[in-house]
Structure 1
Amino acid sequence: MDPINEAHVSEPGLIVVDVAAANDDTVLSFQQLLADRWATATATSTTRDAGEPGVRLRCYLDLRQPLDS
């Protein structure tokens, strides 16, 4: 994954989440759980590292903006 951009964590409550999972469905489901609770900049696709198992995904959360249930 690319280094974290300082702007994405410039204030308290901003979070960068890097997730690794066995497959796309798992990592995208986890991202959706986060997006259902907080303002989230979601990723639309996963990445694969050559020679490594599984997939990776990065998304950005703003804990200052909880979503209503």
Structure 2
Amino acid sequence: MNPINEVHVTEPGLVVVDVAAADEVTAFAFQEALTMRWATSAADRTTRSPGEPGVRLRCYLDLRQGLSM
């Protein structure tokens, strides 16, 4: 994954979430759970590191924008 830059968390309430999961289905299911709760900049793909198990996904949340359930 790329490093987290200051612009990603310039204000309180902004969060960068790095997900490590066994597979894409699990990673996207977790991201979906986050999008049901907070405003989320969703990722459309996962990444794999050669020689390492699983996948990674990065998304951005704004905790100040909670969604009604």
TM-score (norm 2): 0.98
1:46 is matched with which residue?
46
- Confirm whether residue 15 of structure 1 aligns to residue 10 of structure 2: no
2-side partners of 1:65 and 1:14: how far apart?
10
Q: CA RMSD in A?
A: 0.4
Q: Which runs of 5+ in 1 are unaligned?
A: none
Structure 1 outlier segments of 4+, above 4 Å: none
Report Cα offsets for 1:17-37 as digits up to 9, x if no partner. 000000000000000000000
2-side partners of 1:47 and 1:15: how far apart?
20
2-side partners of 1:56 and 1:5: how far apart?
18
Q: How does 1:1-69 map to 2 (within 5 A)?
A: 1-69=1-69
User: Percent of aligned pairs with the same residue?
Assistant: 67
Q: Which runs of 5+ in 2 are unaligned?
A: none
1-side partners of 2:44 and 2:29: how far apart?
12
Q: Secondary structure at 2:3's aligned position in 1?
A: coil
Aligned length: 69
